[in-house]
Amino acid sequence: MVIADGEAGPARPALAAVARRGRGFAPRPSARRGHRRRGPAALRYNGAAAATAAVPRRIAALSPASFPSRAAPLPRDAGGWASARYDRLAVSPQGATVTHDHGSVLRAAAFAAQRHRRQRRHDAERSPYINHPLALADTLANLGGIADPVVLCAALLHDTVEDTATTLEEIELAFGARVAAVVAQVTDDKSLPKAERKRLQIEHARHISPEARLVKLADKICNLRDLLQAPPPWTRQRKREYFDWAAQVVAGLRGVHPVLEAEFDAVHARIDELADSV
């Protein structure tokens, strides 16, 4: 998130309009006999969006601007998102099994790749930005044993709203309200000064949902790894300051996943290996 650059690119048409032209990631309207074609306002409630119709729509309440007092909870479905299945995945990652349809995860990877296509990391090789979201998803799935598509999709999409022209409405339409809610909780408000954004990340860490805490934890693990292995042109002092700040954020995330927390600690312990790369 902090170790990349690039343009957001021109504003893109709403996904509803894209869907009408047969492109993009949005679902097409129903083709049932007698079903009358409806306009853009109605289109967003067709297809996959209808699956979340019963979910309270709180995306606006989960935007970064709402955080100064406390973070709003994730929307809940009829069974509640904090289910025994999720707890098993978070607490006993090595025993987790993939029991979900992960087609949405592949769509999220393709969506993120398209939205970040003009962006590059700040490492010496100027590697594609999409490498970072992919690293998050890989860390969550293969190190953390996380099989929840909501978490994996949010990891892949976590920088799309913050660093591209993508909106939370587009994320909700294409991937559902729960994914959009997680993305909202890990998105910084770029209208604020950088120092204030960093302060708010520390403050909000202990108040965001378990899903968002997993994504945030993976983000910090991957950023520390990059500072060690493929660093931007930063001084050693600046890198150490990032390590110290990341540890303050992670302090508020603890208790969500022991294995990932141990990985963060192991990477952070290598702080003395940092060197100037300017």
Q: Is 58 a residue whose pLDDT tops 50?
A: no
The predicted model gives 248-254 an average pLDDT of 99
Q: Provide the pLDDT for residue 83.
A: 31
What are the residues facing 121 on neighbouring strands?
Answer: 4
Q: Is 11 a residue whose pLDDT tops 80?
A: no
How large a percentage of the chain has pLDDT more than 70?
64
**Where in the chain are the domains?**
46-273
**SS3 of residue 121 by DSSP:** strand
pLDDT band at 5 (very low <50, low <70, confident <90, very high): low
Q: Is 262 a residue whose pLDDT tops 50?
A: yes
pLDDT band at 1 (very low <50, low <70, confident <90, very high): low
- Looking at this protein, which amino acid is placed at residue 107? R
> Beta-carbon neighbour count of residue 13 at 10 Å?
12
Distance, in Å, from the CA atom of 211 to the CA atom of 149, rounded to the nearest integer, reads 10
By mean pLDDT, which of 66-70, 91-95, 127-131, 213-217 is the weakest? 66-70
Q: Provide the pLDDT for residue 278.
A: 75
CA dist list (Å): 267 to 155, 176, 189, 262: 20, 33, 28, 9
Burial 101-127 (b: 16+ CB within 10 A, else e): eeebbebbbebbebbbeebebbbeeee
Q: Is 224 a residue whose pLDDT tops 60?
A: yes
H/E run at residue 5:
strand 4-6
CB 10 within 8 A of CB 165: yes
HSE-up of 156 (CA within 13 Å, CB side)? Answer: 25
Q: Is 23 a residue whose pLDDT tops 50?
A: no
Identify the CATH assignment for 46-273 out of 3.20.20.105, 3.40.640.10, 1.10.3210.10, 3.40.50.1370: 1.10.3210.10
CB 56 within 8 A of CB 76: yes
Q: Is 277 a residue whose pLDDT tops 60?
A: yes
pLDDT per position as a tens digit, 91-115: 334 444 444 467 999 999 999 999 9
pLDDT per position as a tens digit, 229-250: 999 999 999 999 999 999 999 9
DSSP 81-108: SS-HHHHHHHH-GGG----S-THHHHHH
Q: Provide the pLDDT for residue 102.
A: 78
pLDDT per position as a tens digit, 169-189: 999 999 999 999 999 999 999
Check residues 158 and 21 and name the one with the higher pLDDT.
Answer: 158
* Residues classed as catalytic: 162-163
CA dist list (Å): 80 to 146, 153, 178, 209, 224: 18, 19, 11, 13, 34
CB 256 within 8 A of CB 144: no
Q: Is 88 a residue whose pLDDT tops 70?
A: no
When the pLDDT of each residue in the chain is averaged and rounded to a whole number, the result is 76
